[in-house]
Amino acid sequence: MRERTYKLAQDRAPLLDALTEYRRGRVVPFDVPGHKQGRGTPELTEFLGKSCLSVDVNSMKPLDNLSHPTSVIKEAEALAADAFGADDAFLIIGGTTAAVQAMIMSVCKRGDSIIIPRNVHKSAINALILCGIIPVYVDPGIHPELGISLGMSADHVEAAIAAHPEAKAVFVNNPTYYGICADLRRITEAAHRAGMAALIDEAHGTHFYFGGDMPLTAMEAGADMAAVSMHKTGGSLTQSSLLIMKRGRVRPDYVRTVINLTQTTSASYLLMSSLDIARKALATEGRETFARVVSLAEYARGEINRIGGYYAFSREIIDGKYIYDFDTTKLSVNTLKIGLAGVEVYDLLRDDYGIQIEFGDMGNMLAIISVGDNHYAIERLVASLSEIKRLHGREGLGLLDHEYIPPVVRMTPQEAFYAPSSPLPIRETVGKISAEFVMCYPPGIPILAPGEEVTREALDYILYAKEKGSLVMGPQDMELNYLYTVK
């Protein structure tokens, strides 16, 4: 179990202190926002609370400025860097999407190549569209029983590096939505030997930095930058995130400049203070907190597997190649042997039992177990899954058993996105080049991305996902009857 020693006093929360002092000072606001500490929108104040609205404020001297921090925000970022073992940290209030895009745009420019897994979140491909970066896709492995996409193997990354020495960076998802972890250290070292930056989308790995016996973190592996979604498993407010980095290949002042290209100049103090408060809790209580989280997840996994039919998988699937490690806090459950797609179980849990899980796909469902969960909630989930099997379980049905479709890339994402295009009935698009994204959300991993050929396999998957009730999004046609393809 890793032990952490901090250089700074992690029991401090400078943004919390500054906002508390602001509230205590009873400042009369003649600046934005226009609700003026909630007085102008009484219904909103009643809904969110006066305490919340009183600190939904604009940048000012005592509260610093996120675009150019010099005082309390600068201190909050220094504390975050120390807590995560990084040289620098940036508070991000545009979600981890903004952090992922800032990472990529900090090391790649128009015409540069980046080695990247195809099962990335759409935010990464969006960065390629915005900047004209050329992807070198590495297909992840596919688990033969579960059908899920896995991590990039280090062997395949090293082969991609050898084949594309001109690439500027290697981009890694770690962990995946399902909890699959790659061999980060080997991949990072391979990237660095080739003079490339190592960028890690660590959106689902906040807890790795604070729990015991957790998979290796990006900073421990020596990566240059990582996007950390604090709101997912760290306890901060939705849309708040961190971008953390090691100095050397990337300059922090340039990263700040890149972040400021797209990040709002009206930064939310609610989001920023939630990052500060959550970081304090993680640094001071994280080990105990995540020991409890792991215990809850392992208990749930055992109980679900005892139901029969379901398979709540864990570290036994580690193969040392595509699955180098596994995040045991992820309660990922295969549902195919009860005759239901994961998305069908998702819908039943929500509609019939009042339980909202993270997502369901064609063969699996995912329940996020984190800092706010308790034993009662776990028991309710387990009991509901048992009832669903009893009432709705079926046998012998032919269900789609995998969720990753290898892409056939015909154009770069930017070329296709901006190319002349026209809508076609979606069933007539096989062989055409998509000008749009098509994805199930969550998780937001594209089935098709701009520049990829619409294969029969991809089309069948899209239609199957729609039939099963997945939220299929991306195209301009919200009904998904038409898809824009390159002329």
In this structure, how many other beta carbons lie within 10 angstroms of the beta carbon of residue 9?
11
Cα atoms found within 13 Å of the Cα of residue 330, Cβ hemisphere only: 28
Question: What are the pLDDT digits (tens) for 282-309?
Answer: 999 999 999 999 999 999 999 999 999 9
| DSSP letter, residue 437 | -
Task: Please report, as a single letter, which amino acid is at residue 62.
Answer: P
The encoded tokens of residue 446 equal: 């594209």
**Could you tell me where the DSSP H helices lie in 393-432?**
413-418
Is 60 exceeded by the pLDDT of residue 117?
yes
Q: Reduce the DSSP state of residue 484 to 3 states and report it.
A: strand
- Contact status, residue 133 vs residue 155, Cβ threshold 8 Å: no
pLDDT tens for 183-233 read: 999 999 999 999 999 999 999 999 999 999 999 999 999 999 999 999 999
d(C-alpha 61, C-alpha 180), whole Å: 44
Report how far residue 172's alpha carbon sits from residue 157's, in angstroms, rounded to the nearest whole number: 10
CA distance 171 to 153: 13
Q: What is the rounded CA–CA span in Å between residue 447 and residue 122? A: 10
In 127-201, DSSP assigns E strands to 134-138, 169-173, 180-181, 197-201
Strand order in the sheet with 134-138: 88-92, 241-245, 225-228, 197-201, 169-173, 113-117, 134-138
Both structure tokens of 472: 């299929």
**Tens of pLDDT, residues 133-190:** 999 999 888 888 888 888 899 999 999 999 999 999 999 999 999 999 999 999 999 9
Digit-coded pLDDT (tens) for 302-361: 999 999 999 999 999 999 999 999 999 999 999 999 999 899 999 999 999 999 999 998
Q: Give the Cα separation of 232 and 205 in Å (integer).
A: 9
Match 């203070």 to its residue by tokens. Answer: 273
In this prediction, residue 156 carries a pLDDT of 96
The average pLDDT across 422-449 equals: 91
Comparing 87 with 146, the larger pLDDT belongs to 87
The answer to whether 412 and 400 have CB atoms below 8 angstroms apart is no
Section 452-480 average pLDDT: 90
From residue 255, alpha-carbon distances to 104, 209, 320 in Å are 10, 22, 34
Sheet containing strand 311-312, edge to edge, reads: 311-312, 330-334, 364-368, 359-360
Count Cα neighbours of 47 within 13 Å in the Cβ-side half-sphere: 4
Q: What is the pLDDT of residue 443?
A: 77
Q: How confident is the model at residue 1 (pLDDT cuts 50, 70, 90)?
A: very low
Q: What is the mean pLDDT of residues 3-11?
A: 90
What's the CA gap between 293 and 304, in Å, rounded? 16
3-state secondary structure of 280: helix
Phi and psi (nearest 5°) for 245?
A: -155, 160
- Would you give the end-to-end CA distance of the chain in angstroms? 56
User: Half-sphere exposure (CA, 13 Å, Cβ side) for 275?
Assistant: 35
* pLDDT interval class at 3 (50, 70, 90): low
For residue 134, what are the contacts with CB-CB under 8 A and spacing of at least 6? 111, 112, 113, 114, 128, 412
The sign of the torsion formed by the CA atoms of 289, 291, 297, 303 equals: negative
Element (H, E) at 331: strand 330-334
In three-state secondary structure terms, 108 is coil
**Helix, strand, coil share (%) of the chain residues, nearest 5:** 40, 15, 45
Of 36, 92, 27, the closest CA to residue 61 belongs to: 27
- Give percent of the chain above pLDDT 70: 98
Per-residue confidence at 81, pLDDT binned at 50, 70, 90?
very high
Residue 241 has pLDDT above 80, yes or no: yes
Question: Domains of the chain (ranges plus CATH)?
Answer: 10-58 (no CATH), 59-283 (3.40.640.10), 284-392 (3.90.1150.10), 413-486 (3.90.105.10)
Total Cβ atoms within 10 A of residue 81:
22
In whole angstroms, what is the distance from residue 36 CA to residue 54 CA? Answer: 8
pLDDT at 402: 62
Phi-psi region of 235 (alpha: psi -120 to 50; beta: other; left: phi over 0): left
pLDDT at residue 440, as a whole number: 84
Q: Using CA atoms, how far apart are residues 188 and 172, in angstroms rounded to an integer?
A: 9
Write down the mean pLDDT value for the chain.
Answer: 94
- Which has more pLDDT, 60 or 151? 60
Residue with tokens 């709002």: 264
**What average pLDDT does this structure show over 436-451?**
87
